[in-house]
Amino acid sequence: MNYLTAFLVGGLICGVGQLFLDYTNYTPAHLLVSLVILGAILTGLDLFQPLIDFAGAGVTALVINFGHVVTKGVLSEIDQDGFLGLFSGILELGSVGISASIVIGFLMAAIFRPKE
């Protein structure tokens, strides 16, 4: 049942994103930024963790999870270090995802030779 729930919730998020791209004049970059911001807002309102508990990989495998990870890092560091945690929290928990994105992006560019 967990696989079905993850598939349906993840598919619903992706389907809404595709409708957003099909029926508006926005670009995929707009959609990605919107999903990251939505993940951050849901985390700030304490609504993302119940969504993770319900859908599992249906939301954690998507770009929306990046907003959750960054916001969660900031909130936990603010609790520990106060105002300075605002700056260190972004880098501490999100650094793995950011590093992986940079390395994989570089490898894909080296292998497939993108055009301008």
What are the structural domain ranges in the chain? 2-112
* Residue 114 DSSP symbol: -
Report the predicted TM-score, pTM, of the whole model to 2 decimal places.
Answer: 0.75
Task: Specify the amino acid at residue 41.
Answer: I
| Confidence (pLDDT) at 37 | 93
| Confidence (pLDDT) at 22 | 94
What is the per-residue pLDDT across 43-60, written as a single tens digit (0 to 9) for each? Answer: 999 999 999 999 988 888
pLDDT at residue 30 above 80?
A: yes
| Confidence (pLDDT) at 89 | 67
pLDDT at residue 83 above 90?
A: no
* Residue 102 DSSP symbol: H
